[in-house]
Amino acid sequence: MKTLLFAPLVSTAIAAASLADIVNFDNIKIGAVPPGWKATQTGSGSAKWSVEKDDSAPSKPNVLKQSGQATFPVCFKNDTNIKDGFVEVKFKPVAGKEDQAGGVIWRVRDSNNYYIARANALEGNVVVYKTVNGKRSSLDIVGRKGGYGVKETVASGQWHTLRVEFADNKFSLLFNGKKLFDVEDTTFTKAGKVGVWTKADSVTLFDDFSYGAR
């Protein structure tokens, strides 16, 4: 009987795993934007997204680098369309006088409308926002009214992991494998694209971008 029950459990586990995809940027031309990605920005300025070689990459040899300056540089994967699921990335804040931030975005409609979770090395905090028609505003943590994310050490020059799990109107944020908080919001309820994000003059590296439907 145990053997008969085990087979469907394995099949279910394999099916769930197959819903996850990972992009490590390793087989892409250096200096180019990853094929199938939209490299752009929210607001003014000039974002610069490119695949570069980096010896510190978690999965060598390449990373996705943002080295331009714009209000909010964004880069999202055009062939994704997820309503409930997760998005995760490893990121390394390298430089920036105004900001040193890295983030993930989900339920992306376009470069002006999406949810975003970001960690900032200069501010030492992690925050979830929504960007609506190009205007960004922070979201309240479940169980707390007001405030601005949570304080968290985000070391510059080191790799970190940022993950958001989202279902219906509830989003859970995890940083370096530790769950920090939940938020709830109903602005964007339909499936959308997923991607990565920075702010202002942040020079940020990204690797091992993964995502999956629930």
Model pLDDT for residues 49-77, shown as the tens digit of each residue: 999 999 999 999 999 999 999 999 999 99
pLDDT of 44 higher than 90: yes
By the 8 A CB rule, do 173 and 163 touch? yes
pLDDT over 90 percentage in the chain: 89
Do residues 52 and 62 make contact, with C-beta atoms less than 8 angstroms apart?
A: yes
Q: What mean pLDDT comes out for the span 122-149?
A: 96
Question: What mean pLDDT comes out for the span 162-168?
Answer: 98
Of all helices (H) and strands (E), which one includes residue 113?
Answer: strand 113-120
Q: So what's the pLDDT on residue 181?
A: 97
Enter the pTM of the model.
0.90
What's the mean per-residue pLDDT of the chain?
A: 92
Name the 3-class secondary structure at 15.
helix
**Enclosing H/E stretch for 171:** strand 170-175
pLDDT for residue 128 is more than 90: yes
